[in-house]
Amino acid sequence: MLDTLGLICMMWWCMMLFHPLHADIQYVEPEAQESPIANVKMNWKKMELTWDSSKNYSKYKCTIMDRDIESIQTEVDSPLCRFPVELYLPLHKGVFLTIEVPNTNISKTFTFIPGGINGSAIENFSCVIYNISFMNCTWQAGKDAPEDTQYFLYWQNSR
């Protein structure tokens, strides 16, 4: 019985964490410092990182890293980094992004945190477990969620 309640609570918590990927993404700068790198944006659908640079550099290094320290680094010659679209990162936890200019002390690190659209969180979430091995979950889209919003429910076996 406690395992069942734990599973329901875990699933409710997971649903509160997952926001639609097309939602606005905000970034938080850990340090306030002068830098030629500005206006950093991440397009999650295309997995493209873009920024403005007040100086032209011949090379940039971009790194994307999740909180479990899984990372991918790429080197580019313009203010656009593309990461593999099939890259699996738990985006709901946020990711760290670093833009560096090789052979200089110039770098900028950002933490992107998915914020979701206000009013897009699911409502009336509930799960019913019956015959010990079947579960039926239902919910309603948030009142302000766009029509194309997709929600995903993930189940993880709890020990």
User: Where exactly are the structural domains of the chain?
Assistant: 1-21+116-159, 25-114
Question: Taking the CA of residue 158 as centre, how many other CA atoms within 13 Å lie in the half-sphere pointing to its CB?
Answer: 14
Stretch 101-128: mean pLDDT: 85
**Is the pLDDT reported for residue 68 higher than 70?**
yes
Instruction: Name the more confident of 4 and 69.
Output: 69
Per-residue pLDDT at 152: 80
pLDDT tens digit sequence for 116-148: 777 888 889 999 999 988 999 999 998 888 888
Q: pLDDT, tens digit, for every residue of 69-85? A: 778 899 999 999 998 87
Question: Comparing C-alpha atoms, which of 55, 51, 102 is closest to residue 74?
Answer: 102
What pLDDT does 10 receive?
Answer: 41
Residue 51 pLDDT: 93
Rounded CA separation 96/98 (Å)? 7
In one-letter notation, the amino acid at residue 55 is: K
Lowest mean pLDDT, pick from 80-84, 98-102, 111-115, 136-140: 111-115
CATH topology for 25-114 is Immunoglobulin-like (2.60.40)
Query: Mean pLDDT over all residues of the chain?
Result: 76
Tell me: pLDDT of 29 over 60.
no
Of how many residues is the chain composed?
159
| Cβ–Cβ under 8 Å, residues 153 and 137 | yes
Average the pLDDT over 62-71 and give the result: 82
Tell me which residue of 138, 112, 4, 136 sits closest to 49, measured CA to CA.
112
Confidence (pLDDT) at 6? 44
